[in-house]
Amino acid sequence: GSVKSMIGHCIPAAGAASLIKVALALYHRVLPPTLCEEVRTDLALGNGRLYLNTETRPWIQGGRMPRCAAVNAFGFGGINTHAILEEAPGQNTGPLSAFLGRRWKPGSELLVFVQPDRTALIQQVEDVRERLRNAPEGDLRRLAMALWRQRGQGEERLAVVAEDERTLEARLAAVVSKLADPARDRLQTRDGVYFNRRPVAGRLAMLFPGENSQYPDMLRDLAIEFPQVRHWFDFLDGLYDGERDLAPSQAIFPLPAGLSAEERIELQKQLRGMELGSESVFAADRALFALLTAFGVRADALLGHSTGENAALTASGVPRLDEAALGACIRRMNALYRNLEMSGVIPDGELLSVGALSLEQAQDILEADPRLHLTMDNCTNQFILFGPAEAIAAAHATLKQRGAFCTELALDRGYHTHLMSPMAEAFRALFASVEFAPAGTVLYSCVTAKPFPSEMEEMRDTAAAQYMCPVRFRESIENLYRDGVRVFVEAGPESHLTAFVRDILRNRPHVAVSCDDRRRGADHQLRHLLGQLFAQGIPVDLEPLYGGMPQPVTALAPYLPTAIPVIQSTGPVATQLRACLHASMPASHAHPLPQERIKACETTDDLAPPVIAKPLGRPGALAGHFDLMQEFLRQQERVMSVWLDRRRGR
């Protein structure tokens, strides 16, 4: 991206500015944008590998090749320099980019309050309101950090998510009004206020979604802000390291410009495909599990839905696989599936999602046509059927007459039916070479709706059986609730499982919250999730939100004048300079001036004295130009130093 679009032309310092920008991009593994309102058509729809990046995007790079970037500097005075930079070797763990990520677009902040009693809590809120009135923060993030690091202890816990001071003041005013009632034990609003005097008591389960949760640009903001998230998309790109025509990240994070409508449709089709669909959701699930772990959220139980069971399995540590072995296992599983598909042993068909009707109300339809198969029992009001096109069409018509809402899904394979037995058997043979052992966190399976068995061979059987057995998600949630789980956190893209849990448990005491919200944005939803957990008294560590903030500067430098000296030549002098410096001649017609003309320029005495101090000959004019540029750079250095000092002090 062009640095000129961000800070203007730095004249002879343009190359230095570009070098700084590229070095920071490599360090934070972020692709900064070229800022522009509209991309030229011939640039936007080019067929080459180059494109104009107009949005801040995560820099995904898997495999053996490091990240590289080129710098082209075309500055004043004839600068024409090119450089290629490469990321530093051995950076296995990326820098904490939280302080950078919150600056690249307007965002929300999470502010937490905790006190031993209601009076003290209201007083703390009033103190913050007074602080905002008397000394506006300008940057809520610094206030949020102070509240977190200076928090006390107590049972009165409040969390507020706000985008700016005005919004925060309005929400705090409403909080004071509502919490003035001592009988109020709970307060929760859609816009981000969470208070719970008597949180639900119980264990916490993490839920991992499977296919049909993926979508373009999922978790993009979190991948920019947190290296734990970006790492798993790096991992996914590195699985095939150039073996595929399209890297997974090219479909997950499509280019902001340069793609036609047809090309975008094709990328979405690939993202919904069998291979990339399951792989992308797996990477997103593991990314959010890693992020939750970084924030100190610990699960007592894990449950995967459909292919999300693979994410739950590997997150639990039951299969003893490091990342290299995990990557090799995924590659082998995909190869086995492709071989089975080519052999024709996996039949195709159609999937039908049925809503607003319970499975019990449709049981007679399933029993009447043996070609229909139940693949998923998701919640009280939603299940999914699979079968050949004509059987699905007939069931669709009958179910619609009964008041059901039916949707045909894009996938055309009978996952979670006995039709997938060849794949389950192939995977079971593969798992024979993988060590399975119980882990510290209880792992549940939607195959049995119970915890995984503790014996190794039975573990392998259960892991493989998910491909040919219906997903018993509703029953699994009921059993988790029976076993004491009251808090359900969805660690994956979208929020389908959260909606399922709410439908299953209805009015029973529980908390169901997702890491992602497609309408709100994953970065905003993360703050809401952490705020809700904090208000529930669940241990969280908010330090990753503030790890990169610079320390304030106590002494501020005075403002300096920003006026830049300008050469103002008289008419005759300007004419003479143009003649000497070829400024008035097109480049295509430029040719050396006669020596007598140059000599005349150097020796003329009857012209008005110039404003510049240097002689008027060609060397003098150039020297004057460079003196001016040096003074300009000194002025800019002083101005930027003052600006940076003031920013650090705020």
Residues 266-292: tens digit of each pLDDT: 999 999 988 899 999 999 999 999 999
**pLDDT for the residue 614:** 46
Helical H runs in 13-117? Answer: 14-28, 41-44, 98-101
What mean pLDDT is predicted for residues 424-430? 97
Q: Which amino acid is at 38?
A: E
What mean pLDDT is predicted for residues 165-176? 96
Q: Give pLDDT tens digits for 182-217.
A: 999 999 999 999 999 989 999 999 999 999 999 999
Q: Would you list the domain boundaries of the chain?
A: 4-95, 571-649
Label residue 342 exposed, middle or buried (CB < 10 Å: 0-12, 13-18, 19+): exposed
Helix (H, G, I), strand (E, B) or coil at 270: helix
| Residue 444 to residue 18: CA distance in whole angstroms | 52
C-alpha dihedral sign at 635, 638, 639, 641: positive
Is there a contact between 128 and 160 (Cβ–Cβ < 8 Å)? no
Render the burial of 480-519: b for 16+ CB within 10 Å, e for the rest: bbebebbbbbbbbbbbbbbbbbbbbbeeeebbbbbbbbee
Q: How many CB atoms lie within 10 A of CB 324?
A: 8
Q: Classify residue 433 as left (phi > 0), alpha (psi -120 to 50) or beta.
A: alpha
Q: Classify residue 278 as left (phi > 0), alpha (psi -120 to 50) or beta.
A: alpha
| Residue 296 to residue 487: CA distance in whole angstroms | 15
**pLDDT for the residue 15:** 80
| Residue 229 to residue 252: CA distance in whole angstroms | 13
The residue to which tokens 């890693």 are assigned: 290
Helix (H, G, I), strand (E, B) or coil at 419: helix
Looking at the DSSP bridge assignments, the partners of residue 467 are none
Alpha-carbon separation of residue 449 from 208, 438, 453, 473, 474 (angstroms): 15, 17, 12, 7, 9
| Residue 456 to residue 436: CA distance in whole angstroms | 5
**pLDDT for the residue 541:** 97
Q: Give pLDDT tens digits for 216-255.
A: 999 999 999 999 999 999 999 999 888 888 899 999 999 9
| Residue 576 to residue 212: CA distance in whole angstroms | 72
Q: Give pLDDT tens digits for 309-327.
A: 999 999 999 999 999 999 9
Q: How many CB atoms lie within 10 A of CB 72?
A: 12
Helix (H, G, I), strand (E, B) or coil at 151: coil
Q: How many CB atoms lie within 10 A of CB 537?
A: 15
Q: Answer yes or no: is pLDDT of 36 > 70.
A: yes
**pLDDT for the residue 598:** 39
| Residue 431 to residue 363: CA distance in whole angstroms | 35
Q: Answer yes or no: is pLDDT of 607 > 50.
A: no
Q: Give pLDDT tens digits for 510-535.
A: 999 999 999 999 999 999 999 999 99
| Residue 415 to residue 340: CA distance in whole angstroms | 14
Q: Answer yes or no: is pLDDT of 580 > 90.
A: no
CATH number assigned to the domain covering 4-95? 3.40.47.10
As a whole number, the mean pLDDT across the chain is: 86
Helix (H) or strand (E) holding 534: helix 522-535
Alpha-carbon separation of residue 441 from 297, 302, 314, 539 (angstroms): 13, 7, 12, 17
User: pLDDT above 90 covers what percent of the chain?
Assistant: 66
| β-pair type (57-58, 186-189) | unpaired
* Phi, psi at 487, each rounded to 5°: -115, 125
pLDDT bucket at 132, cuts 50 / 70 / 90? very high
What mean pLDDT is predicted for residues 475-493? 98
Helix (H, G, I), strand (E, B) or coil at 175: helix
Label residue 163 exposed, middle or buried (CB < 10 Å: 0-12, 13-18, 19+): middle
**Higher per-residue pLDDT: 244 or 566:** 244
Alpha-carbon separation of residue 319 from 204, 457, 546 (angstroms): 22, 12, 34
Q: How many CB atoms lie within 10 A of CB 600?
A: 14
Q: Rg for the chain (alpha carbons), in Å?
A: 31
Q: What is the 3-state secondary structure (H, E, C) of 478-527?
A: HHHHHCCEEEEEECCCCCHHHHHHHHHHCCCCCEEEECCCCCCCHHHHHH
Q: What residues have CB less than 8 Å from 248, skipping those under 6 apart?
A: 233, 236, 237, 239, 276, 279, 280, 283
The edge-to-edge listing of strands for the beta sheet with 511-514 is 450-451, 442-445, 301-304, 203-208, 485-490, 511-514
* Phi, psi at 193, each rounded to 5°: -115, 125
Is there a contact between 558 and 110 (Cβ–Cβ < 8 Å)? no
Least confident of 46-55, 125-134, 458-467: 46-55
Q: Give pLDDT tens digits for 609-648.
A: 444 444 556 667 667 777 777 777 787 778 778 777 776 7
Label residue 590 exposed, middle or buried (CB < 10 Å: 0-12, 13-18, 19+): exposed
